[in-house]
Amino acid sequence: MKLKCFYTNANTNSLVGKMVELWQRAQGLDVIGIVGTWATAHINDAELAIGGYTIFRENRASCKGGGLLLYGNDKLKSSICTDMMNTDFKESLWCFTEAEEGKILSGLCYRSTSSDASNDECTVY
């Protein structure tokens, strides 16, 4: 199975202000991974939605910045994989993408510059 994937770091101030550009880049992609979204619980999924994609997100609750988003194209079946997220590592997000040929696990791990030594030593799997 071949997937067309895109990864980026939204970097500053929030992904919300960059949604038009993201929508333009998303055309024809199967999986989109974004770190540094700055998304919080105050930003609802509708503000981050891209038509034709299922959204999975992990907000950073402890401080400003961070955050992860995975988008799965609705043409393929995608589901979150919480088993991979049940670790001591602070920021990871994983999903399965299924097609006729099989299932692929896609994920993001974000180790920020402010990551402490104990988080740096954690494994994700």
- Between CA 40 and CA 64 the distance in angstroms is 9
Q: What pLDDT does 124 receive?
A: 55
51: domain CATH number is 3.60.10.10
Q: What pLDDT does 2 receive?
A: 81
Is 87 among the domain residues?
yes
What average pLDDT values come out for the chain (125 residues) when binned by 10 residues?
87 79 90 89 91 91 80 93 73 87 87 62 56
Q: What pLDDT does 72 receive?
A: 94
Q: What pLDDT does 67 receive?
A: 85
Neighbours of 13 (CB within 10 A): 11
Is 104 among the domain residues?
yes
**Apex CA 92: angle with CA 86 and CA 95, to 5°?**
85
Q: What pLDDT does 5 receive?
A: 93
Q: Where are the alpha helices (DSSP H) in the chain?
A: 19-26, 45-48, 117-120
- The domain of 28 spans 5-116
Question: Domain count of the chain?
Answer: 1
Q: What pLDDT does 96 receive?
A: 92
Q: What pLDDT does 38 receive?
A: 84
